[in-house]
Amino acid sequence: MDETTEATATTTAGTGGAGHLFTAHDVTAVMPKRGGGETTVFRGLEFHVDGGEVVDLTGPSGSGKSTLLTAFARLNVHTTGSFALDGEDSDTFTPQRWRVAVAYLPQTSTLIGETVADAIRLPWTFKVRQDARAHEAKDMLSDAHIRATLDRMGCRDIDLDRAPRDLSGGQAARVSLARTLLTKPRVLLADEVDAGLDEENADKVADLLKLAAHDGTAVVRIRHRAPDGRATRMMVLKAGELREVPLPTAAQVAAAQRADAVDGSADGAQGDGTEE
């Protein structure tokens, strides 16, 4: 999660309007300070995203990127704003229904259960889905369906009977993402879900997000890595202002990835414990 820093700049970019899948208007975050007082992280931000888009949200550490995503998901009590999905105001949704439709995926997700299949079924076990009232989770989401979905997502290496604690960092990240995608969100808010992963696993996670967008989900992802060419738009949150910036060219993406690979090789010599 981002640490918040004081920012007094007011509003701006990425403005939304009618006709977009998801819109956010006048989003403000005012956080309490340790020892008293308040910090304005950002004020009056506007944002929109449509199905099939992958929007990269970048900016310096502490600029409030995670705060913004949790505001979109209506998970942050220190934020205010108006949000709509397909033109329907978020106030007409129950919090539970909104958070299924506008799903927030944190940097590190907890996988609970004796097996990977159990961990993936968790949303159904807790009856997150409205249609899960009268059915057992396993009836709603069979092993065969989970297996077929994971295979389609390129996760053939993940055994459903394996204990979640035995997964590598990259596998755990993909299982968490697959679990969220199986709830069929309209908007997926991915909070730097590739953090701490080696390049191979980060690439696999990015492929899953792109596949979700191809299927019609609107994807917003926080990134600190080099551009990977998958984004359809790029936004920067800095000093309390949100603005859209041009996407890098293919040549710029290739150069950035080469530089990132060199840096990653140096870091990898120390080991990060996430390689499969």
pLDDT tens for the chain, 276 residues long, are 444 443 433 344 444 445 899 999 999 999 999 888 999 999 999 999 999 999 999 999 999 999 999 999 999 999 999 999 999 999 999 999 999 999 999 988 789 999 999 999 887 766 544 554 445 666 678 899 999 989 988 899 999 999 999 999 999 999 999 999 998 999 999 999 998 888 898 999 999 999 999 999 999 999 988 899 999 999 999 999 999 999 988 888 888 888 877 765 555 544 444 333
- Indicate whether 3 belongs to any domain: no
Let me know if residue 273 belongs to a domain.
Answer: no
- Beta strands (DSSP E) in the chain are 22-32, 38-49, 54-58, 79-85, 88-89, 102-105, 187-191, 218-222, 233-238, 241-245
Does 2 reside within a domain?
no
Assigned domain for 7 exists: no
Judge whether 235 lies within some domain.
Answer: yes
Report the candidate in 39, 42, 40 with the shortest Cα–Cα distance to residue 11: 42
> Is position 17 within any domain?
no
Q: Is the pTM of this model over 0.85?
A: no
Structurally, how many domains does the chain consist of?
A: 1
Indicate whether 5 belongs to any domain: no
* Calpha distance 130→132 (Å, rounded): 6
Q: Give the structural domain span for 123.
A: 22-268
| Residue 111, domain member (yes or no) | yes
Q: The domain that contains 44 carries what CATH number?
A: 3.40.50.300
